């Protein structure tokens, strides 16, 4: 089937305005259920519509409301006791059913304290309501019959929820997750004002369609700034909903250069397409294997943006056989030869805009209209001629001239006319020349030193005080683009090159006289030959391969204006004898000395990152001032103690991970009110930690693998911000009752805490707690374990995910656990000793995922909760044929994703198998694939394993 292009994404008339439309009877459910459900949908990022209008008697449904229904992907109907008394609700319902039939809208009914049969067959309160309507509308019985039919059809929809009584928040979360799963991937960031792109999108789409149902790889190539990424975004936005999964990987070339860059891109690719939040990959080779295995049966849309090397393609989209039939892979690159080398058969070359489109795009950014005012027509034509039809240049020049008077236009245009070669970079430089001094300084720092990153405002603050204001200026001038709430930014490669060229031109033949040094050979020369001077404000030394530097250590003595010093992938023969006090950002991997130079006391230091270095933390801590926000001493093997940090009240992130000889952390750490992240993981000798914590801003506390730490600090006061704690593989013996003060806690990892005794009941009363990981905790006192479960059963437990991997659980304990955690959505119990799953598991009505892999004693699996979506029973080699038949029956009826593993001798009767010699094959009787089975592994034939994957039908 050919891909259908929707231009709604860039014409301003979207096919769908809302993700979800909520239909409900306000008097019944507005405040207690429907409004909280609406808020939960919005928090998930689902664009939901709710009508809060209070109606007068006899008022008719508004046309705008009917339009809202038509422009929603999903309608959720909350059937309540008095729903049918409202003619407004019934009119809504009738229109929803019409949209279901005519527009294939998804309908999801909720039976809120009413029986589905009462709605379907109009019994009880629905019978009385419909009888009253028949009496009222006796002259229009067709209307009443339409309402009755709509009630019957809506109540018979297979995907429905029944709420009788119980935990409403957990019930809502299940609805939200189900609705989210039915929505297509979200569109990319808004493209903005588009000119001349519809024909290009049509041409690219036509090339994609020529492959029919085969996998198609298409390359879009052209010079930088020509609009390759923009066209790819538009194509993606127009067709992504036609695929099983979609992913757009931005700027592959830059991301791949970073440490583990390709691995993280592979993780992101799989996570977005499969919609799995946690996707861990250990190596590029493993990532290739995972992509081929997981996506070979899926119809996917993948965009690889700004690819520069053939290896990047080979590791992300090595061949058409990596993806399922109908998949489309779009590659944008400046290098056409790369596409040829990868055997990409279809290519599209981006060309410059024509004169008409160039004029419109320029005028939109200069005047916010598609034509210039009469007095600006001639000068607009002159400005447009310099951009040579390049969209990026048109956008930058237009933004630069916006809101300026005629005199300013004339001055700027004269600068354009003085450019002899009219190169794009020289044209772009005009925008730089118009900046204030402070904005110029920040722009050059970003161009030379700061890659696309999180915490952009903090990084820029490390360059200069007052710099945040200039970010907005650069954004307004289109020199950078701030995205994701201004936490990240994008700078086009051409603009970055332009900034670096400005710095290079300061002293073309003498790098030591430039203000900033970023090219590693220039930096090495300056350091080895002591060529530095006060002109240098920033240095970044990051060679492609590790370099050994023999130097005297005195190279920084003449750099008293140095603000930024970043050193990576270099091993120095000795430490520095001098560091400038002007430093605001000091990042030195493998710092070669135990201390700083004696006169080093930077009063404005913001970032101090010395990972994998020889540095020791010793008093007095004169280097730590009230300005420092980031400290990174990870993998520093000579640090044994962290002294008083009370003067670091601006500290936001502290990384002490893998300081294997760290023994003690001063109590002052526990009162840092602005600290957001604290990582002391893998500090295996740490035994003295703050006994109290009162950290209002802390969001993430990682104590993982602190194997000598025996206690958890007491929580003083309420700490609402803390979301995630890991005490995995620690020697902690108990958690204090004050842990209940962590009101925002969502994830608590306690895997392999073998010394952990009783847990406080306050832990299980935390309303936001979603995940507990007890994995690897074998209860040494089973009586105390069982008593805890009984205590939990008495209280209300809100946990959604429970990890009990390798806990030695027996049947009796499992029965208690399932009775306690009735609101579970995910239950992970690999490598345990129970023989059967208790029947009470069916009462876990929210259970979505069940993992019992490697439970080799497990024989019996009863009927499971009807909402269960995934079960992994891989390598459960004792399962009986009856249990396998139960699983298959539920998989077939509920579209359950099932993975099972059994010996050949216990194949269920719905499989035939045969074997010759060391080979084994199997097939489904009647040549029908079992619905829902995603993997089946047969073991025990000639000491071999055989696995086959099936598509979910």
Please name the residues in contact with 686: beta carbons below 8 A apart, sequence gap of 6 or more. 662, 663, 664, 665, 680, 706, 708, 709
Q: What are phi and psi of 629, to 5 degrees?
A: -115, -25
- Give the side-chain half-sphere CA count within 13 A for 439: 18
Specify the length of the chain in residues.
Answer: 953
Please name the residues in contact with 199: beta carbons below 8 A apart, sequence gap of 6 or more. none
Question: Cα-atom radius of gyration of the chain, to the nearest Å?
Answer: 32
- The pair of structure tokens assigned to 361 is 């795009």
DSSP β-bridge partners for residue 747: 724, 771
In angstroms, what CA-CA distances link 624 with 596, 608, 620?
Answer: 12, 9, 9
Among 702, 697, 615, which residue's Cα sits nearest to residue 650?
697
Instruction: Provide the 8-state DSSP code for 688.
Output: B
- Active site (annotated) includes residue 360: no
Bridging pattern class, strands 944-949 and 933-941: antiparallel
State how far the Cα of 238 lies from the Cα of 595, in Å rounded to an integer: 57
State how far the Cα of 791 lies from the Cα of 215, in Å rounded to an integer: 56
Given a contact cutoff of 8 angstroms between Cβ atoms, the answer to whether 571 and 594 are in contact is no
Given a contact cutoff of 8 angstroms between Cβ atoms, the answer to whether 667 and 645 are in contact is no
Dihedral angle sign, alpha carbons of residues 347, 351, 357, 361: positive
What does the DSSP assignment read for 726-789? Answer: E-TT-------GGGGG-TT--EEE-TT-TT-----GGGGG-TT--EEE-TT---S-HHHHHHHH
- Which residue out of 27, 59, 70, 92 is catalytically annotated? 92
Instruction: Provide the 8-state DSSP code for 34.
Output: I
Q: What are phi and psi of 48, to 5 degrees?
A: -105, 150
**First-last CA distance in the chain:** 19
State how far the Cα of 519 lies from the Cα of 800, in Å rounded to an integer: 51
Given a contact cutoff of 8 angstroms between Cβ atoms, the answer to whether 124 and 115 are in contact is yes
Please name the residues in contact with 760: beta carbons below 8 A apart, sequence gap of 6 or more. 734, 735, 736, 737, 739, 740
- The pair of structure tokens assigned to 520 is 């590693």
Residue labelled with tokens 């951009």: 387
Q: In degrees to the nearest 10, what's the CA dihedral of 475, 479, 484, 486?
A: -50
State how far the Cα of 644 lies from the Cα of 127, in Å rounded to an integer: 73
Residue labelled with tokens 């975004």: 233
Please name the residues in contact with 359: beta carbons below 8 A apart, sequence gap of 6 or more. 371, 372, 380, 381, 384
3-state secondary structure of 852: coil
State how far the Cα of 519 lies from the Cα of 506, in Å rounded to an integer: 15
What does the DSSP assignment read for 127-178? Answer: HHHHHHHHHHTTT-HHHHHHHHHHHHHHHT-SS-EEE-SS-HHHHHHHHHHH
In angstroms, what CA-CA distances link 597 with 362, 577, 579, 697?
Answer: 54, 6, 7, 33
Q: CA 936, 939, 944 angle in degrees (round to 5)?
A: 120
From start to end of 622-733, where are the E strands?
Answer: 630-632, 641-642, 653-655, 664-665, 677-679, 692-693, 700-702, 714-715, 724-726
State how far the Cα of 859 lies from the Cα of 396, in Å rounded to an integer: 68
- Residues annotated as catalytic are 92
């Amino acid at each position: 089937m050919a891909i259908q292009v929707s231009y709604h994404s860039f014409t301003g008339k979207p096919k769908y305005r809302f993700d979800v439309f909520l239909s409900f009877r306000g008097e019944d459910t507005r405040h207690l259920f429907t409004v909280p459900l609406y808020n939960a949908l919005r928090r998930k990022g689902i664009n939901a519509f709710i009508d809060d209008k209070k109606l007068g008697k006899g008022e008719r449904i508004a046309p705008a409301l009917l339009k809202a229904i038509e422009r929603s992907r999903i309608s959720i109907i909350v059937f309540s006791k008095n729903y049918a008394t409202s003619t407004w609700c019934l009119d809504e319902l009738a229109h929803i059913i019409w949209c279901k039939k005519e527009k294939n809208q998804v309908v999801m009914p909720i039976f809120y304290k009413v029986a589905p049969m009462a709605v379907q067959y109009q019994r009880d309160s629905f019978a009385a309501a419909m009888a009253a309507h028949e009496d009222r509308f006796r002259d229009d019985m067709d209307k009443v019959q339409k309402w009755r039919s709509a009630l019957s059809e809506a109540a018979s929809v297979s995907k429905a929820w029944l709420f009788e009584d119980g935990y409403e928040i957990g019930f809502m979360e299940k609805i939200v997750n189900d609705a989210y799963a039915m929505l297509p991937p979200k569109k990319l960031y808004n493209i903005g004002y588009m000119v001349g792109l519809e024909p290009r999108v049509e041409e690219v789409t036509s090339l994609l369609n020529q492959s029919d149902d085969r996998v198609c790889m298409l390359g879009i190539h052209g010079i930088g700034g020509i609009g390759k990424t923009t066209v790819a975004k538009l194509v993606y936005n127009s067709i992504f909903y036609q695929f099983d999964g979609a992913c757009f990987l931005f700027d592959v070339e830059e991301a791949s250069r970073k440490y583990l860059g390709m691995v993280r891109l592979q993780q992101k690719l799989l996570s977005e397409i499969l919609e799995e939040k946690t996707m861990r990959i250990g190596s590029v080779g493993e990532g290739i294997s995972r992509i081929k295995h997981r996506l070979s049966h899926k119809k996917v849309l993948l965009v690889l943006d700004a690819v520069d090397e053939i290896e990047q393609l080979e590791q992300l989209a090595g061949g058409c056989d990596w993806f399922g039939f109908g998949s489309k892979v779009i590659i944008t690159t400046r290098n056409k030869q790369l596409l040829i080398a990868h055997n990409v058969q279809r290519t599209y070359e981006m060309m410059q805009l024509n004169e008409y489109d160039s004029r419109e795009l320029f005028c939109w950014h200069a005047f916010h209209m598609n034509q210039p005012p009469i007095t600006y027509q001639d000068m607009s034509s002159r400005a447009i001629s310099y951009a040579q039809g390049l969209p990026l240049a048109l956008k930058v020049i237009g933004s630069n001239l916006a809101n300026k008077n005629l005199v300013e236009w004339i001055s700027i245009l004269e600068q354009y006319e003085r450019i002899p070669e009219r190169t794009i970079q020289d044209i772009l430089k005009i925008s730089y020349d118009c900046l204030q001094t402070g904005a110029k300084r920040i722009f050059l720092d970003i161009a030379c030193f700061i890659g696309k990153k999180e915490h952009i405002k903090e990084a820029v603050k490390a360059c200069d005080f007052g710099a945040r204001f200039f970010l907005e200026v650069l954004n307004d001038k289109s020199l950078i683009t701030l995205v994701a709430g201004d936490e990240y930014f994008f700078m086009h490669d051409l603009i970055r090159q332009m900034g670096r060229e400005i710095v290079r031109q300061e002293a073309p033949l003498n790098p030591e006289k430039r203000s900033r040094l970023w090219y590693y050979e220039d930096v090495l020369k300056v350091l080895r030959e002591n060529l530095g001077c006060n002109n240098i404000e920033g240095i970044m030394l990051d060679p492609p391969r590790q370099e050994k530097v023999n130097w005297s250590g005195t190279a920084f003595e003449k750099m008293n204006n140095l603000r930024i010093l970043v050193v990576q992938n270099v091993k120095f023969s000795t430490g520095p004898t001098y560091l400038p006090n002007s430093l605001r950002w000091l990042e030195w991997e493998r710092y070669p000395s135990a201390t700083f130079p004696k006169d080093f006391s930077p009063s404005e230091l913001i970032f101090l990152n010395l990972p994998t270095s020889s540095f020791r933390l010793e008093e007095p801590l004169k280097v730590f001032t009230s300005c420092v926000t980031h400290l990174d001493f990870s993998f520093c093997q000579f640090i044994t103690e962290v002294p008083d940090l009370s003067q670091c009240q601006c500290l936001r992130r502290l990384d002490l991970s893998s300081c294997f000889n760290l023994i003690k952390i001063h109590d002052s750490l526990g009162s840092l009110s602005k600290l957001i992240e604290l990582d002391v993981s893998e500090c295996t000798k740490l035994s003295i930690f703050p006994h109290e914590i009162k950290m209002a801003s802390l969001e993430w506390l990682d104590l993982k693998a602190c194997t000598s730490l025996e206690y958890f600090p007491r929580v003083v006061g309420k700490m609402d911000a803390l979301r995630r704690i890991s005490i995995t593989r620690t020697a902690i013996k108990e958690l204090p009752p004050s842990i209940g003060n962590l009101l925002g806690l969502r994830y608590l990892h306690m895997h392999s805490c073998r010394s952990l005794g009783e847990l406080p009941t306050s832990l299980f009363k935390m309303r936001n707690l979603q995940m507990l990981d007890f994995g690897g905790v074998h209860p040494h006192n089973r009586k105390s374990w069982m008593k805890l479960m009984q205590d939990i059963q008495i209280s209300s437990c809100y946990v959604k995910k429970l990890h009990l991997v390798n806990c030695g659980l027996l049947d009796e304990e499992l029965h208690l656990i399932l009775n306690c955690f009735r609101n579970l959505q995910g239950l992970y119990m690999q490598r345990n000793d129970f023989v059967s799953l208790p029947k009470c598991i069916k009462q876990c009505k929210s259970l979505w995922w069940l993992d019992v892999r490697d439970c080799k004693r497990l024989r019996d699996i009863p009927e499971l909760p009807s909402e269960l979506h995934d079960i992994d029973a891989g390598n459960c080699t004792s399962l009986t044929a009856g249990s396998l038949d139960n699983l298959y029956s539920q998989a077939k009826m509920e579209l359950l994703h099932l993975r099972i593993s059994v010996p050949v001798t216990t194949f269920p009767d719905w499989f035939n198998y045969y074997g010759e010699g060391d080979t084994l094959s199997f097939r489904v009787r009647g040549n029908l694939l079992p619905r829902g089975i995603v993997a089946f592994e047969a073991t025990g034939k000639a000491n071999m394993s055989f696995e086959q994957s099936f598509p979910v039908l």
